[in-house]
Structure 1
Amino acid sequence: MRFFIPLLFRLFLMLLVPIASAAEAPLPTSQATPATAVSQEGVPVKVLNRQIAVFRAPLFGVTPAERARRTSRRIGELLAHAGAGVVTTQLEPQGNVLFIDGSMAIVLGPDDVDKLSGETLDSATQAVRQALADAIAETHESRDRGRQLTALWRSALATVFFLAIAWVVLRFRRAVVDRTTALLTSRADAVHVAGAPIIQASWLQALVRWLVRAAVFLVLAIALYEWLSFVLTQFAYTRPWGEALGSYLFSAGEQLGLGILHALPDLFVAVLIFLLARFVTAALGPVFDRVERGQGRSTWLDKDTAAPTRKIVNIGIWLFALVMAYPYLPGAGSEAFKGVSVLVGLMITIGGSSLMGQGASGLILMYSKTLRVGEYVRINDHEGTVIELGTFTTKIRTGLGEELAMPNAVVLGTTTKNYSRAVKGSGYVLDTVVTIGYDTPWRQVREMLIDAADLTEGVLADPKPRVFKTALSDFYVEYRLVCQAVPSQPRPRAEVLDLLHANILDVFNEQGVQIMSPHYLGDPDTLKVTAPDDPYAAPKRTNKPPASA
């Protein structure tokens, strides 16, 4: 209740202030309003807050503003006399003259007619005559104390009725929220997917509370509007305001209803276009599903490009449907709709350049098949397995368990090393480099490296590991071991490479071959190898690798 009382007061002020402002606006004068502007818009003649006529042209050299001022004063003087208030009309060459109880009240010239709306002098005269009759009747009513008391009694009764409606609505608002929420929650709890409810009770409660509050606001606003319109029509001076409020509500409702009826055919066409777009996307869905499952393939579409192609085709279909349905959408021809369309286009143009660049880079990566999900790659200084190749970012998981998201533009502009392409079957290439002095036979080094690879769990025996002598430097020979890793239990490349390095160290220690590169100053007195009797110095380890078994 505390929330709605200030709200009702604000609604009352919103409805009352424009009416009061319009009533208190002074009549334009000949000095303040140019003659050209007056001739187009006209100057109204008001008596007891009711518009009697509109003067749009000078008469006998008197400006419309001065005519309106004199006529308002003349009619006021005539109504001040307690006469019968009989209105008569006399046709003159200069125009039609209207009399009140035989006294001239107003002269309406041919140029005062609103020709743009198709009004004639006779129809304008009849409207002025009816307005004068209403003003005379309201003048008599304002002097009748009994009718004033009746108006006050009706206004008080309407006020009590309005307050009763507001009290009932606010009183049962909480009960409606509680019962509706309980009913919807019980129904929603019965719907589960995989053992979990689809809709949470907190969401339903917030939604019901918002809907009930909106409904309460709408009901109170309508009741306040009707109460204000009824009260204003009870008094002679404010009756034109009440009539204006009532006619505005009905005209707005009529205009809204006619607008909805006129928009229905176009809206039906727009809905039909969207339904056709939905049908086409649904019909193409099974084709992409078969390709993604590996059951079908064409020259331009395979398992890796099926998902992005589906998105591109669906977006293209819906954009085409939106362009085709745009002229049929309600309000598409309005200036507001056009302004919003221009604003959205400008925002996309200015702020979407980077986004479009990332999307284009993602499409290039997908369709050039530079990367695929599951491949082990090196991008810049980061190594890992590709877990997602998205439209804007590429995600890889490193050997340390980190998940890295790289913008596609960065990936496309960087040299990418792919360890999974030149392999037999699934897996990735594993390579490492050691540098050994010239005093160790190269055949011995080759066999030791191959033995270390054979001892490493996860390294594939077929194809057989190979050793390449990649450089003959000043103090040592550079050997590169290349093998293929296909773990039976998938593990990160860093773990397999760690096991391989451990086995290389163990094998070289067992054979007494020291690794002294790349800095060579001279032969030491003793070999720089681990003693065979104590390969596990403190802190000791209880689990020994298979290489030393």
Structure 2
Amino acid sequence: MTKPRFFLGLFLTFLLVAAQTHWPLMAQDAQAPPAPAEIQEYPVTLDGEVLLEVREGVGSFTPEERAAAIQRRIRQVAEDEDIPVDSITIKRVGDRDNVTVVQGNRPLVTITKADVGDRPESQAEVAIALAQRIREAITRYRQDRVPQNLLKNTIFAILATTLTLMLCSVVVRISGKIFPPVSRWGGERIPPLRLQNFEIISREKVELWLLRILQFSRLALLLFILYLYLTFVFNLFPWTRAFGKNFLNHFLGSLEFILTSIGNYLPNLVAIATIVAITYYILKGVRAIFSAIESERLVIPGFYTDWAKPTYNLLQILIIALAAVVVFPYLPGFDSPAFRGISVFLGILFSLGSTSAIANVVGGVILIYTRSFQVGDLIQIGDVKGIVVQKTLLVTRICAFNNQVITVPNSSLLNNTVINYAVAIREMDQPLIVQTTITLGYDVPWRDVYKVMVEAGRRTANILDDPPPFVLQTALNDYHVTYELNVYTRNWQELRYTLSELHQNLQDACNEAGIEIMSPSYLALRDGNTSTIPSNYLGEDYLPPGFRITLPK
């Protein structure tokens, strides 16, 4: 399938599922006739074997009470081994339409017309068959409690337990040796799914999926062996035989209840599962694409690699939010007042408590896509200067030079100027210019100052010779000149130490040249000192002016 057809089919499927939220189910105009009430049946059992199912009561006895009374009488006869089973017969008692199964003169079960129901047999035939079943059940009841039979069944249970443990151990050991080679063999035969230079489904994933399938099959086999073992062992003893016979029925009954509940909700469940599956695979595909962009296996012109992860996170939130909007109408109780009340409460709570959080998220998104800085950059925000150690949608964490971690909300970053010392080197391939200033008096020739400051810059480590250092006069103040030294460096990580060494070299170079680093101050009245103008600008006949004092006559 080509890419356009694939994405078109995926888009149409998503639209179809989303549109179902606006298709209400058609209600049936004509109501179905009420179903006839089911007749409750109460079984009469002995050691788990059903002998009779009671549908109606007799006299003041309800069907449930009648079934309990019949079961109690039969159990009393079965527990009394002095009573021969041949003494259980049938006879008519009182009303000749009813036939009673008796033990001697003690009635056990009275068969009424309601007990026969729609069956073609007569009451007498039903009573004869029931008496035979009771005799056989009592015989088995007594035989199962003979000590010799209990000992034999105990030995069988021990042997079955040992055999089951050995069989499970063999299955686990053999599968543990066979499964890895089989999964590797399947991984070699099934080609990986690729898109450009990255694998959507790699060989390792294929092998892992095959291994999981084999492990699930092993689990199913072990559960089946356990089921056979429990059924066999429970049937050996009379006290657990009822559970053993109904073990599968209990399991199937529970499974039927679960499946019935699911079946009633199946249409909505299918829609939810479809939406969840589509959302999952869309997120999986989007994640694979942005992972490839982040690792530079997939290059999109104009899309930076550091945008990949935050863009995926934003798309993930949007896709999940859209899927939630589509899924909510299918949830049980969606239209209930409780669900609506909770939704309104959560909405108000979110609105009141998330104002600053949303501002920080917006600020974080703007910082990400304006690429003001990255993790590891040296930045300065107001009085805060340090290396960025973490950047999230809410806050940015900066490690200062004294190892203090400063947390700055992203919303405040939008209102401050961010100075980045690393971006020019990383993205524009331009060295960072380090600047420092000194002030000297007008009596020092500026050409000498230039030479001294440039020499100090060249002596400093991490300073580039090309481009060379240069000096600018940034201000002609009242009493001194401000000189600015500009040097180039690419090692911004050592900026503090580079600047400190530069200051040291400036002091050494000025001292070697006989230049005092000081800013002189003057009074308005000269006291006869030499002019601060450099000597080469003064004439040869220049004499320092002195004070002129006029004495009174």
TM-score normalised according to structure 1 size: 0.52
> Quick check: 1:399–1:493 contact (8 Å CA) kept in 2?
no
Alignment of 1:124-143 (within 5 A): 136-143=135-142
Q: CA deviation digits over 1:321-353, x for unaligned, max 9?
A: 46646888xxx7699xxx9xx9xx99x99xx98
Q: CA deviation digits over 1:283-342, x for unaligned, max 9?
A: 89999999x96834xxxx8787566334423442355346646888xxx7699xxx9xx9
**2:430 aligned with 1:431, yes or no?**
no
**Correspondent of 2:301 among 295, 299, 317:** 295
Q: Which residue number corresponds to residue 513 of structure 2?
A: 511
> Quick check: 2:364–2:410 contact (8 Å CA) kept in 1?
no
Q: Which residue number corresponds to residue 164 of structure 2?
A: 165
Alignment of 1:479-494 (within 5 A): 479=482, 481=484, 483=486, 485-487=488-490, 492-494=494-496
> Quick check: 1:97–1:104 contact (8 Å CA) kept in 2?
no
Q: Which residue number corresponds to residue 5 of structure 1?
A: none
> Quick check: 1:357–1:409 contact (8 Å CA) kept in 2?
no
Q: CA deviation digits over 1:424-469, x for unaligned, max 9?
A: 9634342334465x68659579746853576363387599643434
CA distance in 2, matches of 1:88, 1:420: 110
CA distance in 2, matches of 1:363, 1:170: 57
Alignment of 1:81-480 (within 5 A): 82-83=85-86, 85=88, 99-101=100-102, 105=108, 136-144=135-143, 153=152, 156-157=155-156, 159-170=158-169, 173-174=172-173, 177=176, 222-234=224-236, 238-251=240-253, 267=273, 270-275=276-281, 295-296=301-302, 308-321=310-323, 324=326, 361-367=363-369, 369-371=371-373, 376-379=378-381, 383-384=385-386, 389=391, 391=393, 394=396, 407=407, 409=409, 412=412, 417-418=418-419, 420=421, 426-434=430-438, 447=450, 451=454, 455=458, 457-458=463-464, 465-469=471-475, 479=482
CA distance in 1, matches of 2:323, 2:43: 52
Q: Which has the larger radius of gyration?
A: 2
CA distance in 1, matches of 2:239, 2:375: 80
CA distance in 2, matches of 1:326, 1:77: 60
CA distance in 2, matches of 1:220, 1:464: 82
Give SS of 2:409's match. helix
Give SS of 1:512's match. coil
Do the aligned partners of residues 357 and 441 (structure 1) sit closer, same or farther apart at CA in structure 2, a change above 3 Å counting? same
CA distance in 2, matches of 1:78, 1:199: 70
CA distance in 2, matches of 1:485, 1:276: 49
Q: CA deviation digits over 1:124-181, x for unaligned, max 9?
A: xx9x999987555321222458999678656644642442232243367556545656
Work out the percentage of aligned pairs sharing the same amino acid: 19
TM superposition shift of 1:410: 7.2
Do the aligned partners of residues 148 and 325 (structure 1) sit closer, same or farther apart at CA in structure 2, a change above 3 Å counting? farther
Do the aligned partners of residues 359 and 140 (structure 1) sit closer, same or farther apart at CA in structure 2, a change above 3 Å counting? same
Quick one: which amino acid aligns to residue 409 of structure 2? A
CA distance in 2, matches of 1:86, 1:440: 142
TM superposition shift of 1:231: 3.5
CA distance in 1, matches of 2:452, 2:132: 116
CA distance in 1, matches of 2:42, 2:145: 36
> Quick check: 2:100–2:111 contact (8 Å CA) kept in 1?
no
Quick one: which amino acid aligns to residue 474 of structure 2? F
Give SS of 1:492's match. helix
CA distance in 2, matches of 1:389, 1:303: 15
Q: Which residue number corresponds to residue 521 of structure 1?
A: none
Structure 2 gaps, min length 5: 1-39, 192-196, 521-553
Do the aligned partners of residues 434 and 105 (structure 1) sit closer, same or farther apart at CA in structure 2, a change above 3 Å counting? farther
Do the aligned partners of residues 441 and 186 (structure 1) sit closer, same or farther apart at CA in structure 2, a change above 3 Å counting? farther
TM superposition shift of 1:418: 0.7
Do the aligned partners of residues 69 and 282 (structure 1) sit closer, same or farther apart at CA in structure 2, a change above 3 Å counting? closer
TM superposition shift of 1:483: 3.4
TM superposition shift of 1:385: 5.8
Quick one: which amino acid aligns to residue 513 of structure 2? Q
Do the aligned partners of residues 279 and 365 (structure 1) sit closer, same or farther apart at CA in structure 2, a change above 3 Å counting? closer
Q: Give the number of equivalent residue pairs.
A: 431
Q: CA deviation digits over 1:45-101, x for unaligned, max 9?
A: 765566778999998667899767655544445666534656799999xxx977324
TM superposition shift of 1:503: 3.3
Q: CA deviation digits over 1:16-65, x for unaligned, max 9?
A: xxxxxxxxxxxxxxxxxxxxxxxxx9998765566778999998667899
Do the aligned partners of residues 283 and 289 (structure 1) sit closer, same or farther apart at CA in structure 2, a change above 3 Å counting? same
CA distance in 2, matches of 1:148, 1:334: 59
Structure 1 gaps, min length 5: 1-40, 114-119, 519-549
CA distance in 1, matches of 2:446, 2:456: 16
Do the aligned partners of residues 461 and 511 (structure 1) sit closer, same or farther apart at CA in structure 2, a change above 3 Å counting? same
> Quick check: 1:466–1:481 contact (8 Å CA) kept in 2?
yes
> Quick check: 2:433–2:489 contact (8 Å CA) kept in 1?
no
TM superposition shift of 1:108: 10
Do the aligned partners of residues 507 and 394 (structure 1) sit closer, same or farther apart at CA in structure 2, a change above 3 Å counting? same
